[in-house]
């Protein structure tokens, strides 16, 4: 649980992704004292990272002098500001701390860029940047003892991550491009042409979403054939055009949950695998709720983690770096 009143400012955290930038003023435990968000992701700020950074923290700089700065996300990729290595699995807070790359600004400000993770042990290599910090933060908030069973975590997003942890280490993970596929289909396919303009303030139609989830689990796989049902059901007046988006979302997320649950239910690397009966969703808002609903429909007991994992992760990395004199 987060305290009602955060402590004194201890560091500045940057959660800097492809399309969004979130800057956080954090206390020593990673609780957010203040935060600012913008659309200045790495695509938009590619030629002006230093200027974007300075502008983002300007309201705090005059008051908070010489606070350490930590950054994670796609800002550490080859298309970002400072590239960090991908570290192999298994990995924990010690490995991530050792892999930090520090960059000194002209004014002397040092920014610690957090490394990403990779798993190239099979035929389909996988990578993550940013999620590793949230996972470390979640584990800091919910410590995992050596005799704890492996945990299954889900981090919903454009590229959703399914992650197995054991003994405080990230053991393996799986990426699903469900969010990006949904966006492409609703914007650039015949299904999008059938959909009326959507007001983002309108909540998800849970019944239409549940119908899509149920369709995903019926009669085995065949996702490619089932996707066409989002059109044919409308043609036969069995689905309202306004419900296409939520039905399609349920179909895609339901398929993802079924396949990822099966894939993550096998033996893990160096630790017992989760029984694939429970999971924790590290996310917020409607998307996290959708994943919880789909997981429950597929027999996974799902809980949504308390907010603040990214800040807690950066604070945990800073604390370990300070212990090691880095």
284 compared with 93, residue with greater pLDDT: 93
pLDDT confidence of 268, banded at 50, 70, 90? very low
pLDDT confidence of 276, banded at 50, 70, 90? low
26-35, 144-153, 238-247 — which is least confidently predicted? 144-153
Q: pLDDT averaged over the chain?
A: 91
- pLDDT at residue 319 greater than cutoff 80: yes
pLDDT of residue 2: 47
Classify domain 11-142+309-323 at the CATH topology level.
Nucleotidyltransferase; domain 5 (3.30.420)
CB atoms within 10 A of CB 24: 24
pLDDT of residue 81: 97
Q: Contact 86/116 with Cβ under 8 angstroms?
A: yes
pLDDT of residue 145: 81
Give the mean model confidence (pLDDT) for residues 144-165: 91
Quick one: which of 282, 305, 311, 307 has its CA closest to 7? 311
pLDDT of residue 66: 79
- pLDDT at residue 177 greater than cutoff 50: yes
- pLDDT at residue 272 greater than cutoff 50: no
- pLDDT at residue 270 greater than cutoff 60: no
Q: Could you read off the pLDDT of 218-252 as tens digits, one per residue?
A: 877 689 999 999 999 999 999 999 999 999 999 99
SS3 187: helix
**In terms of C-beta density within 10 A (0-12 exposed, 13-18 middle, 19 or more buried), how is residue 101 classed?**
middle
pLDDT of residue 33: 94
Q: Contact 88/169 with Cβ under 8 angstroms?
A: no
**Which two three-digit tokens encode residue 260?**
């990822």
Q: What percent of the chain is predicted at pLDDT more than 70? A: 94
- pLDDT at residue 93 greater than cutoff 80: yes
pLDDT of residue 146: 79
Share of the chain residues as helix, strand and coil, in percent rounded to the nearest 5: 40, 20, 40
Which of 56-70, 82-96, 190-204, 271-285 shows the highest mean pLDDT?
82-96
89-98, 118-127, 141-150, 299-308 — which is least confidently predicted? 141-150
- pLDDT at residue 128 greater than cutoff 80: yes
**Which two three-digit tokens encode residue 223?**
């996702």
pLDDT of residue 267: 45
> Do 11-142+309-323 and 178-304 have matching folds?
yes
- pLDDT at residue 47 greater than cutoff 60: yes
Whole-prediction pTM: 0.92
**In terms of C-beta density within 10 A (0-12 exposed, 13-18 middle, 19 or more buried), how is residue 65 classed?**
exposed
pLDDT confidence of 269, banded at 50, 70, 90? very low
pLDDT of residue 221: 67
Structural class in CATH, domain 178-304: alpha beta
Give the mean model confidence (pLDDT) for residues 170-199: 94
- pLDDT at residue 181 greater than cutoff 70: yes
Q: Where are the domains of the chain?
A: 11-142+309-323, 178-304
pLDDT of residue 1: 42
Q: Contact 150/266 with Cβ under 8 angstroms?
A: no
pLDDT of residue 265: 63
pLDDT confidence of 187, banded at 50, 70, 90? very high
- pLDDT at residue 62 greater than cutoff 90: no
- pLDDT at residue 275 greater than cutoff 80: no
């Amino acid at each position: 649980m987060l305290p009602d009143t955060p402590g004194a400012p201890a560091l500045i955290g940057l959660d800097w992704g492809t399309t969004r930038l979130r800057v956080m003023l954090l206390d020593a435990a990673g609780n957010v004292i203040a935060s600012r968000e913008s659309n200045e992701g790495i695509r938009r700020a590619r030629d002006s990272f230093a200027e974007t950074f300075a502008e983002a923290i300007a309201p705090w700089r005059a008051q908070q002098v010489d606070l350490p700065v930590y950054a994670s996300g796609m800002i550490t990729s080859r298309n970002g500001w400072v590239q960090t290595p991908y570290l192999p699995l298994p990995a924990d807070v010690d490995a991530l701390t050792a892999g930090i790359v520090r960059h000194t600004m002209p004014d002397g400000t040092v920014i610690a860029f957090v490394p990403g993770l990779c798993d190239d042990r099979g035929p389909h290599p996988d990578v993550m940047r940013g999620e590793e910090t949230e996972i470390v933060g979640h584990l800091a908030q919910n410590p995992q003892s050596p005799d704890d069973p492996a945990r299954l975590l889900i981090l919903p997003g454009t590229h959703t991550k399914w992650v197995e942890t054991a003994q405080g280490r990230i053991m393996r993970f799986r990426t699903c491009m469900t969010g990006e596929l949904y966006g492409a289909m609703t914007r650039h396919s015949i299904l999008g042409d059938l959909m009326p303009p959507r007001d983002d303030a309108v909540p998800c139609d849970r019944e239409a979403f549940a119908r899509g989830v149920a369709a995903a689990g019926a009669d085995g796989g065949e996702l490619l054939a089932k996707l066409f049902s989002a059109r044919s059901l409308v043609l036969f007046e069995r689905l309202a055009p306004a419900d296409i988006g939520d039905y399609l979302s349920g179909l895609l997320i339901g398929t993802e949950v079924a396949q990822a649950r099966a894939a993550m239910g096998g033996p893990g690397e160096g630790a017992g695998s989760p029984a694939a009966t429970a999971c924790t969703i590290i996310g917020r808002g409607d998307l996290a709720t959708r994943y919880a609903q789909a997981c429950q429909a597929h027999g996974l007991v799902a809980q949504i983690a308390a907010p603040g994992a990214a800040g807690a992760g950066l604070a945990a990395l800073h604390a370990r770096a300070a212990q090691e004199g880095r």
